[in-house]
Amino acid sequence: MKSFFKTTAIWVVLSVLMLVLWILGLIIGNTIFPSDLMNPSNGSGDDGLPIMLLICGLNTAAIMYFIHSTHRRGWPLVATLSLVVFGIQYFMSQIETLWFNDSLKMELNSIWALVAGGATSSMLFSVLAVWVTGTFKKREQLTSKGETMPFSNTLTMTALMAIVIWPLIYFLAGYFIAWQFEEVRIYYSGSSEKASFLFMMKENVASHLYSFQVLRGVLWTLIALLVFRSISGSWLQKAVVLGLMLAVVGCSQLLLPNPIMPEPVRLAHLLETSLSGVVLGMVMAWFFARTSPKKASEPLA
């Protein structure tokens, strides 16, 4: 019971710190790249703060589970956590924003401000999270350093994930979840017409969206490998950690209303990306486990 209250207190403290650092990151990013991000008219109304606290709570819970599951400690953990959080939460989302910005019509300086602010807040939060959870200290009860994968296997797995698995999940979720909403079709194409999946895939290849997603697939695989190799445990535990990081840290911001997307579009993307994030995490962890040599993880006597 004492451990439960301690964990809950740490979660509350880190959730509040995350909110503070998000705001600080926005201020810093907006100072470097002046934009209208801090304009009150771009807020979420009276519900904005409670929703942001909810998002921070969800993100903190996922990150704390990652910290609990990893064998890394100290500055190596800070570096890993910073890269993973920044990559999932900011970099991967904003490069897609750039691709679809003809529809989103987001000010470029706002994108750069989010990236710069996200890098700042991710790094600062990672330091505080590792410190507050006491994981600057070395864990002595585990001998495992995680699983490694031969370089040839890494190349093969990256190619498979980037060229086949990620695009398949992305386009299936995009079409059979998000594209089923009429508002989404109108928002991106200007038409309510719902063409067939095969027709849309031809369009995606012709517009080079597939090629762009292959590039994102490479980046997703590198991020996933970083998480996978940091976790000591079964492939299922790694799948849960990876799925939570992709679905919660990567998608929970869509819980917050924003001036860029109409409500139906935002909610459609929330459903689409969170489900596809869980699926991607599970599939990647399963494939990684099958191609990685097994290592023992025995407690020290």
pLDDT at position 298 is: 38
Contact 253, 62 (CB under 8 A): no
pLDDT at position 233 is: 83
pLDDT at position 49 is: 87
Contact 19, 54 (CB under 8 A): no
Contact 278, 240 (CB under 8 A): no
CA distance 131 to 10: 11
Residues of the chain with pLDDT under 50: 140-144, 296-301
Coil, helix or strand at residue 149:
coil
pLDDT at position 156 is: 87
Whole-structure pTM value: 0.89
Mean of the per-residue pLDDT values of the chain:
89
